[in-house]
């Protein structure tokens, strides 16, 4: 097979096992496509072609051996967001302060996929320390939206979303602290999962907001994303926040009838400021779910309006603590100075970008003596109210349907001088992180400029499987997820 662009995971698995093509052919195809297309898209920060081809050849030997107990994802390529450690590959977190850093270990999420046979093509671009909604905060370059290269791919996992949308990688890992998988998935027209908090180990993830960070996955469809999620999920002794919950084998065969499923639609997500085409396409998709047998119920999440201020107190507070370790002493950038205090100041001043500095200062202020109770403490109380809104609604519905972002992908530079406008891009995604619930984003149409529109389903804690079933049924009945940009 010479063209793997429209191939599903199941088709790749079958083709490799039947020896219709080799893992080396598959891996070379995507490496060549990156070589041809990434100059325009700028999705990747680093590549590992030699390692990838070596792993592909090892996979082909295993296929040829006749072994019947082959790993489930053997020989299949993957892109990894550059906030997840992979031994022997750079891990910059999109920051100059970690330029050239090579971690001596691999994050658990990546390790599980490697154990299942996957092959890492390279590391993808990200907003610095995953702080942003556009990848414009990357210290290296801005990634481009494959549907319109004058626009952002979303963030912070913009490189991963763009790599899958432009078909330079069949799958990619991202992270979601406030929408950083779901928003770029929507902007780029791919399917992206933010799992329940604690469902996938955070070990080996360069931390941003420790009570919010989730490792997620991008694929072209719910079925593809589900297969990777089920391998990644599970308890990890190396991460005290990972939860010991059984991970179901997700079988989506026959997921076409949603009879008995109840989907809530919150009025708080359809308010002034939402782009007309976004609301129209999301509401059309909700009707499609109804035609598949789901019952649609109007619900209320009354504390949604506080999600942005709550998030932008809690996340920067956690970031200010997490980023204290980057001091120029042990690893990363060091600005030489005989005075240790000055060396740390100068290293952090030179190494961190403007948005990271802004969030460190916001967080340090919110945690400082005399302000802790008024800001961070109060934000945590309101976070509990937001979580309780979800728990209350889940007494009557299985999941909640909503837009992912108020608009389609915006122009590069549009919000650069207005951080608040950038923060408001996350208004629909932040609540799921604050509540710790899973969310699955997927394409539901296009606006008048042929830019993808995404919506999300948010489920109860640990009920990712229901989200996958619902979206798989929708994708069986529509073809939005099969559309690709002409790169």
Give yes or no: 262 in active site.
no
In DSSP terms, 456 is beta-bridged to: 402, 441
Confidence of residue 419 (pLDDT cuts 50, 70, 90): confident
For residues 251 and 259, what is the distance between their CA atoms, to the nearest angstrom? Answer: 17
Residue 376: the pLDDT is 94
In percent, the amount of the chain with pLDDT more than 70 equals 99
- Does 335 fall in a domain? no
Annotated catalytic residue: which of 156, 157, 201, 255? Answer: 156
CATH code of the domain in which 177 resides: 3.90.1300.10
Looking at the whole model, is its pTM more than 0.85? yes
Give yes or no: 111 in active site.
no
- Asked if 218 and 195 count as a contact pair (C-beta separation under 8 A), the reply is no
Give yes or no: 259 in active site.
no
**pLDDT at position 1 over 80:** no
Q: Which two tokens stand for residue 45?
A: 């920060």
**pLDDT at position 412 over 60:** yes
Phi-psi region of 405 (alpha: psi -120 to 50; beta: other; left: phi over 0): beta
**pLDDT at position 254 over 80:** no
Q: What is the pLDDT of residues 271-290, one digit of tens each?
A: 888 999 999 999 999 999 99
Total domain count, the chain: 1
- Does 303 fall in a domain? no
Among 351, 397, 332, which Cα is nearest to 96's?
Answer: 351
Annotated catalytic residue: which of 37, 81, 194, 281? Answer: 81
Annotated catalytic residue: which of 111, 138, 157, 180? Answer: 180
- Does 281 fall in a domain? no
Q: Tell me the pLDDT of the chain averaged across its residues.
A: 96
- Whole domain around residue 152: which residue ranges? 9-264+396-482
- Does 284 fall in a domain? no
Question: DSSP code of 133?
Answer: S
- Does 321 fall in a domain? no
- Does 282 fall in a domain? no
- Does 110 fall in a domain? yes
**pLDDT at position 269 over 80:** yes
- Does 130 fall in a domain? yes
Task: List strand residue ranges (DSSP E) for 376-475, in order.
Answer: 399-403, 439-446, 452-459
């Amino acid at each position: 097979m010479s063209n793997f662009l429209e191939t599903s995971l199941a088709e790749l698995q079958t083709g490799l096992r039947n020896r219709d093509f080799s893992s080396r052919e598959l891996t070379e195809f995507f490496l060549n496509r990156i070589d041809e297309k990434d100059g325009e898209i700028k999705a990747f920060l680093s590549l590992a072609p030699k390692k990838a081809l070596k792993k592909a050849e090892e996979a082909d030997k295993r296929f040829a051996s006749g072994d019947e107990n082959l790993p489930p994802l053997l020989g299949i390529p993957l892109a990894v967001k550059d906030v997840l450690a992979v031994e022997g590959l750079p891990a910059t977190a999109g920051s100059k302060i970690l330029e050239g850093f090579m971690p001596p270990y691999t994050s658990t999420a990546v390790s599980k996929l490697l154990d299942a046979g996957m092959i890492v093509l390279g590391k993808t671009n990200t907003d610095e320390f995953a702080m942003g909604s556009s990848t414009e905060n990357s210290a290296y370059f801005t990634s481009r939206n494959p549907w319109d290269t004058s626009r952002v791919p979303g963030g912070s996992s913009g490189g991963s979303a763009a790599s899958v949308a432009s078909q330079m990688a069949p799958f990619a890992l991202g992270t979601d602290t406030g929408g950083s998988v779901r928003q770029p998935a929507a902007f780029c027209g791919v399917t992206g999962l933010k799992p329940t908090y604690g469902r996938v180990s955070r070990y080996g993830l360069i931390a941003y907001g420790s009570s919010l960070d989730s490792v997620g996955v991008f694929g072209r469809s719910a079925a593809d994303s589900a297969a990777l999620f089920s391998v990644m999920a599970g308890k990890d002794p190396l991460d005290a926040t990972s939860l010991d919950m059984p991970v179901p084998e997700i079988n989506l065969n026959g997921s076409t009838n949603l009879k008995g499923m109840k989907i809530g639609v919150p009025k708080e997500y359809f308010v002034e400021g939402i782009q007309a085409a976004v609301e129209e396409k999301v509401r059309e998709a909700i009707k499609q779910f109804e035609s598949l047998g789901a019952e649609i119920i109007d619900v209320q999440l009354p504390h949604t309006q506080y999600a942005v201020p709550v998030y932008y107190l809690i996340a920067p507070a956690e970031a200010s603590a997490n980023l204290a370790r980057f001091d120029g002493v042990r690893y990363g950038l060091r600005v030489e100075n005989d005075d240790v205090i000055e060396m740390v100041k100068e290293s952090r001043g030179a190494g961190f970008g403007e948005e990271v500095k802004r969030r460190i200062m916001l967080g340090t202020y919110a945690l400082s003596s005399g302000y802790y109770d008024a800001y961070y403490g109060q934000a945590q109380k309101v976070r509990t109210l937001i979580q309780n809104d979800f728990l209350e609604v889940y007494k009557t519905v299985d999941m909640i349907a909503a837009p992912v972002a108020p608009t389609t992908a915006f122009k590069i530079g549009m919000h650069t001088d207005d951080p608040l406008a950038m923060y408001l891009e996350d208004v629909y995604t932040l609540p799921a992180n604050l509540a710790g619930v899973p969310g699955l984003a997927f394409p539901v149409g296009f606006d008048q400029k042929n830019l993808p529109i995404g919506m999300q389903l948010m489920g109860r804690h640990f009920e990712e499987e229901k989200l996958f079933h619902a979206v798989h049924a929708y994708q069986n009945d529509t073809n939005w997820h099969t559309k690709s940009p002409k790169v």
